[in-house]
Each structure stands twice: as C-alpha cells, then as structure tokens.
Structure 1
Amino acid sequence: MIRSLFFAPANRPELVLKFPRFGADCCVIDLEDGTPPGEKRSAREALAQTVAQVRAAGLGGTLMVRVNVPDSEHYLADLEAAFASDIDGVVIPKLETTEQVFPVLHWIRQRDAQAPRAQPRTLIGGIESVRGVLNAVALCRDIDALSAVFFGAEDFAADIGGRRTPRGDEVYTARSMVVMAARAAGRIAIDQAVIDIRNDALFLDDAGRGRDLGYEGKICVTPGQVKLAHRAFSPTPEERNYAQRLVETYEAAMARGLGTIDFEGRMIDGPTLKRAQQVLALPVQEA
C-alpha cells in the first residue's frame, strides 16, 4: 500500500531526517530533480550515511532512493551508491524501456543474495514521457521487480508540448493509460503530483479524481500533502460502514440463491460486492 510517495532532496539530509515524523507510506531520498547538478556527486557520496541516519532516527516505513534518469552520466554510479545503503529499493525516473532496468535487476539480485530480507528489494518506475506512456503495458507486464509505477504529469506535458491546467484534462488520457497498465499487471498505481503546494482543495479534488480512476496513492511534495493523500485514499468511517452492511447483506442473499439484490435503493451484484470488499481491505481514514 502506497497512499503517499514523499520526496526529499538527497543534498538536504536535515530534511531527510524528518521522514519519521511525516508518516508517509514510502519515503524517497531524491538524487534526481531535487538535487542540483553541482551537488549530485557529493549527495551520492554521503548517501549511505544519510540512509543510516534516517534509519537510526526511527523510520519504520519503506525507504527508497530516486536515481537520475537512465541515460544520464549519474545513473550507474547512483545505483551503486543506492544499493550500498540500507534501502528497500530504487525509483527510476522517466522509465521507457525494459532494457533501462537491467542494471537495477543486477543489483537487486546481488543484494538479495548477499543480505536476504523478508521483503525483496524492488523498484518503482516513473512513467513521465510520451514514450513511457505508450510502453506502459509492456513495462508493467515484463519487469518482475517492479512493485509500483507513478504517472508524472508535469514531465509528460513538457514532453508532449501541451499546457498544464488545474483540472488536468490535457493529461487525462495518459493518466488513464498508466493506471490501466499498472492494475492489469498487478502493480501499485501512484497518481500525479500537485505542485500548487498551498492549494489543499485542489490537491484533494485531484486526488479524488485519481482514486476514481483506480489510483491507490499520490506523489507528495510537502508533509501536508502526505496527510491529505492518506485522507483521500482511505475510506471514511461512513464508507466503511456502508461497505460492511453491503457485504453482509449480499452474502446472506447469495446463501439464499440470489445473485442480484436491492440494497438501500440500489441494485447490487457481483462487481458492486467486489468494490465494497476493496473498501474493507483499506485502512480507515485518519482523523
């Protein structure tokens, strides 16, 4: 479950050390966009120490490192530094082909053999370009170590040459293609970022539309957005109570040989039951 994918720059260890207090489902130390070009090398060299410090600070959730893009001069060095640290996996930005992850798979196999763990190390792929969106089905289907993908709307819009709007109709097709590719392959689908960081209403509205599409979480760029994402991607107590009543009523009806019933004024059948069961599998919304 990744309701919140939260990033902090690798060259700002004082921000990384605050990860434990924010409660994100997955925290990411960012060697890519968050770290200026002139500080990438020094941030990479300090990565193992930064990871050790945040682990010692009590981070209990998933910890990953976002490396630089596969065609950059930093990619292989980033991977070596990342897997020399106590991380749960890496985030690959602007993923477009399965060949780009071959070095990652090498490191995952090597580290899992050297230091086995209950949960194998994985990778998260960023689908952020026109080519990445068009290849999303193959990427999600063919990369076994891929645990999740996220849709990067800002990079996608820049790549296709479109204009960004608050509502985001211009990326709706690509956003839908990514979530369908992910869910078809059984991967976690993480929704686009909202960069208007002071507009909580916009974040919640955008997250709601993402959840309606099938996304399970959202990129977060501030600690406040982490709380909003958990609110948006968790059922309210009312939604959970409704789902519980529906499941109990439908299961009783099936025991009597009924496949479709009238429940509180709505026609209920198998797909509706499945959605209610999905609601019950999620944690209740935080206060």
Structure 2
Amino acid sequence: MATVKDTHNSIKAALAAVYPEPEAGAMAQQVLEHVLQKTRLELSLMRDQELSAAATTATAPLVERLLQHEPLQYVLGIAHFYGLELAVDERVLIPRPETEELVHLILQEHQGRKHLNILDIGTGSGCIPIALAANLQEAQVYGMDISEGALAVARANAEKYQVRVSWLLQDIFEPVQHLPPQSLDIITSNPPYVLESEKELMRQNVLAYEPHLALFVPDEDALKYYRRITEVGQTLLKKGGKLYFEINERYGNGVKELLLQAGYSHAEVLKDLFGKERMVRAVL
C-alpha cells in the first residue's frame, strides 16, 4: 500500500502534465486533505502512514476531473470565502478573492450597526449575503438571482451556517418584487462584467465549466448591469444608502460617472490589494 507521501507525489506527478508547479503540488495537497478530512498539519504528521484502499480509490476520479481542467473548487465541491466553506458547483461562479475584499469593505464601514437592510444582486453561491449576515448583527439580508439552480446552492450554504437570508428569484431587468421603495441601507453586486471579446483571454477551465450567464456582457453594452442596478438603487435605497459594486478594472470611471449622472451624491473608485481598480462605492 502507498503511503500518504507516496500518494501525494503520484498525484502531483499526474497533475504536472496539466498544471505548473507549485500549483500541481498545492492541488495534490488539497485533494488529500479533502479525501482524508485532515488538516495540512495532520497530513504532514501522517505522511508515512499507509493510505487505505478506500481513500486511494476515492482520489482517482478527483484527479481525473482535474486533468480535464475542471476547477478544483468544483471537483471538491467547496470554495473558501471570508472564513466560510461554501458548497459550489457548475450552477454558480467560484467566489474570488476580490469579492472577499468587497465584503471586507462593507463590514468595515458598517460594523456595529444593527438592523441593516441589505440586498445582493446576482448572488450566485450566496457568498456575499451569507458573509454579511454572519458578521452583521440582526441584519435583514436578501440575495437575488435569475437562476433557480444558483439559489438552490445559496440556500444550502445559508442553512449550513444557520444565517437568515431571504432569497429572491428575480430578473433584475424586470420590476423588483417584494422590496418596498426606500427600504434598503445597502445594495451590493458583483454582476457579469467580462466582455464577450475577452473570452479568448480567459483560462480554459473557466470557459468550459463556469456559468457564462454570470460572467459575460456584450461588448456593445458593457455597463448594462451597472446601469440597471443604479436605477434600482435610486428606488430601493434610503436617502444616504450605499451601493457597492465589484467591477472590471477598465470600468472604474465609467461606472462612477454613471452613478453621479444618475443623481448619487457621491461615487468613488477603490483599488484592491494589488492596486487594481476593482470596486466602486456610491452614496445616494
């Protein structure tokens, strides 16, 4: 029987045909942590132990899926986001680190406030509303999506952490149901913002597996979601309420101007940890 160390090395060698180092080694580590349900430290302490036949059998299909360029998060069925371990599959986008930064910004600006009313538009896995609900006291949080499949994933994630989020199956381009005018303190959105013409620049595993509905916008109307959500915010936000967008870095000034022209009192483009313009915050 192969040891944990041997199995790690064999998985890494197989993945090296598709992924560069150190990515192949990191993925091999995560596969073993997932199959054995052990932490990195626990695995290192048992590196010379023999792997059970069941565990060995369980790793094979995971490695095979990775060799087909399927994203690791889908293969393992989980993505880590702001201290949460969320279920993900091909019905939802994989949460990204820059979205964690958006959540962190919102929490920094509203920590200690109670009874906030918050809407996340295009919620996907529910990562944004669940993280906000878990960290803001007594907030009333809504997550909206056009996809029933996405909302099924989001509901399961909310139930896992026993946070209260109300889910709305809704096309944002239709009149918004169930939310009264001027009832919200915060609207958040990480809408589709990748141009159709940028497809050829994207990694194959994103194109082949992640939902295009949540990724792409037509080149001729790149700001369509921002424009519509700006309008929705004018109706649903309280005076002084805030709107937070994640953006394609090339859209910063365009989104800012759109908000100011619509009548928001303030709009600001913010940079992520890598110095890229990836967020816009506006005040009604």
Question: 1 or 2, which has the higher strand percentage?
Answer: 2
Same fold per TM (> 0.5)? no
TM-score (norm 2): 0.33
TM-score (norm 1): 0.33
